[in-house]
Amino acid sequence: MMATSYTPAVIGGGSMSDINGLDHMGRPSDAVFGEEIGESCGVFGVFGPDLDVARLTYFGLFALQHRGQESAGIAVSDGAGVTVYKDLGLVAQVFDEQRLAGLDGHLAIGHNRYSTTGSGSWENAQPSYRAIGDRTIALSHNGNLSNTSALAEQLGVLQETLSDSELMTEAIGRELDGTDWERALARVLPTFEGAFSLTIMDNDHLIGVRDPLGFRPLVLGRVDGGMVLSSETCGLDIIGADFIREIAPGEVIIIDEDGVRSIHPFTNVKQRTCVFEFVYFSRPDSTMSGQSIHAARRRMGERLAVEHPADVDVVVPVPESGIPAAQGFAAAARVPYVDGLVKNRYIGRTFISPTQQMRDQGVRMKLNPITQELEGKRVVLVDDSIVRGSTTRQLISMVKKAGANEVHLRISSPPYQWPCFYGMDTGRREELIASRMTVDEIADFLEVDSLGYLSLDGLLAATAIDPNRFCTACLSGDYPTAISVSR
């Protein structure tokens, strides 16, 4: 596998700008769906000389689609060069058979993006890439750096011109020039602060990195003689890979034709995994630190029923994020569990622009009530979280219009009061409803008959993991790193 000089062929996409809430292709942008909340991204990687690595990466990204729907991309190396293809849209919109057939090689990385830092433009789609001498590196990032200004200054570039992921690619590329991966990463990675689960590659190495606090997940698996990296275990399951283990916080895994090596370049390692991975982000069929996400969410619902009981006829989940907690609530409260809302699962970022009248219906684009299940009933509605409160308010009004006599809202996490700087772009503090209002005020605003949030202790206990291993900043204000941004 010789690395020869090669410029990455980047096919597809074009720059997109925001004009009156529509991008240049007339698709609705964030401005139209102003209530959209940024979320974590998905990263993936495969090393396997005898495998169809681009196809495996496609399916890995397909399983990780819930972590980001704004753009998708794959970088693949055949040893001689690296090819990157990325574009705005869902994985199945960006790639087809023909595109995948053009991505031939023995190692690949992939990325699903939901914008955090930077606008939702094509330029910010990942993998980001850079040519260094006779090789090209590509990088996929899940998380958010908290020291981008310092990093940009150190590199002598304007911060506004590069996303945090591009800054990392640039910094790694410069360090790698003339040396090997072990040495370069040991020097450059400790200069990054914040959240970064990365898959990186060059012509013949696949690398996995997890920041020393392990904010975002990253797992290692094995498939048909090849090695796999994935944000979540569901990305391994879909391609029939065996789970080996989680990448430890602060660990770097280097995979090449000589095998798999692990290095630990950080001095202060202390696990602080995002508790919201358990509440909302991760897919329920994934496992984390040996715990099933689905089972943990059920336990959250069971605890919620004990902490905030409700005298009702039916328990209704807000699909899909509220389903396991609603199941747990119903079982613990011995109240029938009913599907009272149906979610359209096929909404991506790039569907046809709705009319103004449809936009005013807001949440109906995503959720529709089953009137027969709600009419004349006292309902407890269970969801995982309230961030800004706008979707929830519309939803409550819809459930009432469908004929529910009483609506009691139960949330399987504590009030979300503090902005996240580690990969979840939930907006500024004043945009978070629980930072401005008490629980009673929120109940009034939402026009519910009662409102109950799960306690932080209840949430942590439901995960069945040592509570000291979590970042709970969004719920407690206890940030595990120094934050230079005003909040």
Q: Check: CB of residue 487 under 8 Å from CB of residue 481.
A: no
Residue 41 catalytic? yes
The distance of closest approach from Cβ of residue 483 to ligand AMP in the complex, given in angstroms and rounded to an integer, is: 18
For ligand AMP, the closer CB: 159 or 368: 368
For residue 209, the cross-strand partners are 198, 252
For ligand AMP, the closer CB: 124 or 321: 321
| List 65, 119, 289, 390, residue binding ligand AMP (CB under 6 A) | 390
| List 46, 318, 335, 465, residue binding ligand AMP (CB under 6 A) | 318
The distance of closest approach from Cβ of residue 384 to ligand AMP in the complex, given in angstroms and rounded to an integer, is: 5
Q: Is 421 in the site for ligand AMP (CB under 6 A)?
A: no
Instruction: Please choose, out of 35-43, 236-244, 251-259, 458-466, the segment that lies near ligand AMP by the rule CB under 6 A.
Output: 35-43
For ligand AMP, the closer CB: 39 or 246: 39
Q: Which of 41, 234, 274, 471 is catalytic?
A: 41
Q: Check: CB of residue 143 under 8 Å from CB of residue 149.
A: no
Rounded Cα distance between 88 and 23, Å, is: 11
Directed axis angle between helix 164-176 and helix 148-155, to 10°?
A: 40
The distance of closest approach from Cβ of residue 40 to ligand AMP in the complex, given in angstroms and rounded to an integer, is: 8
Q: Is 65 in the site for ligand AMP (CB under 6 A)?
A: no
Side chain identity, residue 389: G
The distance of closest approach from Cβ of residue 447 to ligand AMP in the complex, given in angstroms and rounded to an integer, is: 13
Q: Is 237 in the site for ligand AMP (CB under 6 A)?
A: no
Q: Could you tell me the maximum CA-CA distance found in the chain, to the nearest angstrom?
A: 72
- Contact letters (x/-) for ligand AMP, 424-463, by CB under 6 A? x-x-------------------------------------
Q: Is 32 in the site for ligand AMP (CB under 6 A)?
A: no
Q: Is 388 in the site for ligand AMP (CB under 6 A)?
A: yes
For ligand AMP, the closer CB: 251 or 384: 384
| List 321, 327, 412, 463, residue binding ligand AMP (CB under 6 A) | 321
For ligand AMP, the closer CB: 109 or 381: 381
Q: Is 384 in the site for ligand AMP (CB under 6 A)?
A: yes
Contacts of 234 (CB under 8 A, 6+ apart): 63, 64, 283, 285, 286
| List 392, 463, 472, 481, residue binding ligand AMP (CB under 6 A) | 392
Instruction: Please choose, out of 53-61, 289-297, 384-392, 450-458, the segment that lies near ligand AMP by the rule CB under 6 A.
Output: 384-392
Q: Is 385 in the site for ligand AMP (CB under 6 A)?
A: yes
Residue bearing tokens 């995982």: 384
Residues in 246-305 at the binding interface with ligand AMP, rule: CB under 6 A = 280
Residue 17 neighbours by CB distance under 10 Å: 10
Structural tokens at position 64: 């990780």
Residue 309: name the closest of 450, 171, 119, 191 by CA: 450
For residue 206, the cross-strand partners are 201, 255
The distance of closest approach from Cβ of residue 196 to ligand AMP in the complex, given in angstroms and rounded to an integer, is: 18
Residue 140: name the closest of 29, 236, 42 by CA: 42
Q: Is 389 in the site for ligand AMP (CB under 6 A)?
A: yes
The distance of closest approach from Cβ of residue 321 to ligand AMP in the complex, given in angstroms and rounded to an integer, is: 4
For ligand AMP, the closer CB: 188 or 318: 318
Q: Within a 13 Å sphere around the CA of 209, how many CA atoms are in the beta-carbon half? A: 29
Q: Is 386 in the site for ligand AMP (CB under 6 A)?
A: yes
Residue 91 phi, psi dihedral angles, 5° rounding? -55, -45
For residue 19, the cross-strand partners are 22
Q: Is 472 in the site for ligand AMP (CB under 6 A)?
A: no
Instruction: Please choose, out of 50-58, 283-291, 299-307, 380-388, the segment that lies near ligand AMP by the rule CB under 6 A.
Output: 380-388
Q: Is 398 in the site for ligand AMP (CB under 6 A)?
A: no
Q: Rule CB under 6 A: which residues touch ligand AMP?
A: 35, 37, 39, 280, 318, 321, 383-392, 424, 426
Q: Which residues are catalytic?
A: 41
